[in-house]
Structure 1
Amino acid sequence: MSTTDLAAMTGLELMRWIQRERPADLPSIGRLLGMRFDEVDHGRIVISLDTRPDFANPLGTVHGGIAATLLDSVMGCAVHTTLPAGVSYTTLELKVNYIRAARTDGQNLTAVGTVIHVGRRAATAEGKVLDEQGKLIAHATTTCMILQPTG
C-alpha cells in the first residue's frame, strides 16, 4: 500500500490495517520490539510483546524504557483511532509510574491504552502495562497535540 493510500485512511482504519496486515516492510518501533496489535477499537488499543534479554537494564530486569514505549504507543494509537483522515498527533507529555519489575525471559506484557478526551487541539489518554498474571507493571497518562492538516 502506498503512503498516499495510508494518508487517506482514518486513524481507526490505519490502526486496523496495521493489526490485520502486520506490514514487515514498514519500519517502526513496534517491529523493532516485536509489538502485536491485539485489539483495535475506537478510542482503545491493546498491544502485547514478549520480553527478551535485549530489554534488560543493568539490574537484569526489563528496562523502564520498554514499558514507557509500550505506554506511549498504546495511548498515542488510541488517540489516533479517534482522528479523521489527514489529522495526526504528537505526544506532548508522558507521565509514567512504575509499579514492579518485569522479567526478560519471554514474559508476555500487555498494554492497554484508552482515550480520556479528544478536542480540536489536544487529547488525553491513560494506559497500563500488565504481566501474564494480570499484575500491574506500570501505568501512565499522556497529553497529545492534535495536528490539523495544513494547506
Structure 2
Amino acid sequence: MDHNGTAGIDQRIADLRTLLEQGLAENVGVGHSLGIHLATLEVGRSVWTFRPSPAAANAMLTVHGGVIATLMDTAMGSAVYTRIPADSYYTTLELKVNFVRPLSLTADQVTCEARTIHVGRRTATAESSVTNADGKLIAHGTCTCLLTTA
C-alpha cells in the first residue's frame, strides 16, 4: 500500500509512539525533560499534556513562554508527522505563538491540541491551542514545516 494508504499511516503512528515511549524509558526528549506527554495521536491530529512545575519557571514565576511554545511545536510537528510519507521528515520553519494568559507554576495539567491545516509536497502547516483544566485558552498558534525525503 502506498504512503497514503491506511497501513502506511497506521505504521507511521505506531513508529512515532514507539520513539516517544523509548525516549521516556531512556530519559531523553521533551517528555522526560519538560514533562510533555502524548495523550492522543491520530492522522493529522495530536493532543499533548503538560503539568506545570518549578522547572518551567520564568523570572515572573509563571510558566516560561518557551516551554509553552515547545509544547505547541511538539504537538503540531506530531500532527504533521502523521500525514507525511514514511520516507519523509519535517523541520519547523516558522512558529507563531499568541500567549493569551499566564500559566501558573501551580496550575493543573494543561492540554495542547494540534491539527494539520495543509500538507503539500514541500511544506505543511498546522495550528494548535493550549487550554487549562477549566477549558480557558492559554495560547494558540501556527507553524510551517519544511518537508524533506530521506
The TM-score, its normalising length taken from structure 2, stands at: 0.86
Q: Which letter does structure 2 place at the counterpart of 1:47?
A: W
Residue pair 2:23, 2:29 contacting (<8 A) in 1 also: no
Which residues of 2 match residues 1-151 of structure 1 at below 5 A?
10-18=11-19, 23-25=24-26, 27-149=28-150
Distance change (3 Å), C-alpha of 1:114 and 1:74: same
In 2: Cα distance, 1:10 partner to 1:78 partner: 14
Q: Which letter does structure 1 place at the counterpart of 2:131?
A: L
Distance change (3 Å), C-alpha of 1:38 and 1:85: same
Deviations 1:35-63 (A, max 9, x none): 11100100000000110012111111111
Q: Which letter does structure 2 place at the counterpart of 1:70?
A: L
In 2: Cα distance, 1:57 partner to 1:145 partner: 30
Q: Which letter does structure 1 place at the counterpart of 2:113?
A: V
Shift of the alpha carbon at 1:81?
A: 0.8
* Equivalent position of 1:6 in the other structure: none
C-alpha RMSD of matched pairs (Å): 1.8
Q: Which letter does structure 2 place at the counterpart of 1:50?
A: R
% same residue: 41
Q: Which secondary structure state, in structure 2, belongs to the residue aligned with residue 45 of structure 1? A: strand
In 1: Cα distance, 2:143 partner to 2:89 partner: 15
Q: Which secondary structure state, in structure 2, belongs to the residue aligned with residue 102 of structure 1? A: coil
Shift of the alpha carbon at 1:85?
A: 1.6
Shift of the alpha carbon at 1:17?
A: 2.8
Distance change (3 Å), C-alpha of 1:10 and 1:146: farther
Q: Which secondary structure state, in structure 2, belongs to the residue aligned with residue 77 of structure 1? A: helix
Equivalenced residue count is 141
Range with greater deviation from structure 2 (126-135 or 14-23) = 14-23
Gaps of at least 5 residues in structure 1 are 1-8
Q: Which letter does structure 2 place at the counterpart of 1:71?
A: M
In 1: Cα distance, 2:135 partner to 2:71 partner: 16
The TM-score, its normalising length taken from structure 1, stands at: 0.86
